[in-house]
Amino acid sequence: MLGQALSLLGAGVVLVAYAMNQMGRLDQRAYPYLLLNLIGGGILTFFAVRARDPGLMLMEGSWVVISLAGIFFAARRMRK
């Protein structure tokens, strides 16, 4: 029961970030958007690994890696 609630929370976080981006309220290169995707993707990756679902692990794991790369590049932009 708790696992399902957390999984839904992870999906909700990703969907909120996406919806806010589509409405022009969150820039896809900004930290809040990237962090929301990282958190939501991380939660979903955890449950994909627990379920031993290779397709979902690839999808959600990639989501996390791409979000981390975005954070890295955003930090580099801020330094310049």
> What's the mean pLDDT in 39-58?
97
Residue with the two structure tokens 């939660």: 43
> What's the mean pLDDT in 30-54?
96
Whether the model clears a pTM of 0.85, i.e. scores above it, the answer is yes
Write the DSSP assignment of 23-79 as a string of letters. TTSS-TTSHHHHHHHHHHHHHHHHHHHHHT-HHHHHHHHHHHHHHHHHHHHHHHHHH
Q: Model confidence over 7-24: pLDDT tens digits?
A: 999 999 999 999 999 999
